Amino acid sequence: MHARMSPYAQLKSTVAGLAQPTRFLEVAERVLPFLLAFTALCLAWGLYLSFSSDVDYQQGSTVRIMYVHVPAAWIAMLCYTVMTANAIGSIVWRHPLADVAARAAAPLGASFTFVSLVTGAIWGKPMWGTWWVWDARLTSMFILFIMYLGIVAINRAIDEPTRAARVTAVLIIVGFVNIPIIKFSVDWWNTLHQPASVLRLGGPALDIEFLRPLTVMGLAFVTLFFTLYLASIRNEIWRRKLIAQHRLAARCAVHKEY
- Cβ-based neighbours of 7, under 8 Å, separated by 6 or more: none
Query: d(Cα 242, Cα 182) in Å, to the nearest integer?
Result: 39
Angle at 239 between CA 235 and CA 244, to 5 degrees: 150
Contacts of 109 (CB under 8 A, 6+ apart): 75, 76, 79, 80, 83, 144, 148
Alpha-helix residue ranges (DSSP H) falling in 63-196: 66-91, 98-128, 136-157, 161-175, 178-188
Residue spans of the domains in the chain: they are 65-250
SS3 state of residue 223: helix
pLDDT at position 1 is 44
Predicted pLDDT of residue 258: 57
* The predicted structure's pLDDT at residue 11: 42
- Long-range contacts formed by 189-197: CB under 8 A, 24+ apart: 189/135, 189/136, 191/135, 191/136, 191/137, 192/128, 192/133, 192/135, 193/135, 193/136, 193/137, 193/138
pLDDT of residue 63: 81
Per-10-residue mean pLDDT for the chain, 258 residues long? 53 52 83 94 93 76 87 95 92 81 93 95 85 88 95 85 84 94 81 65 64 90 95 86 68 64
pTM of whole model > 0.85? no
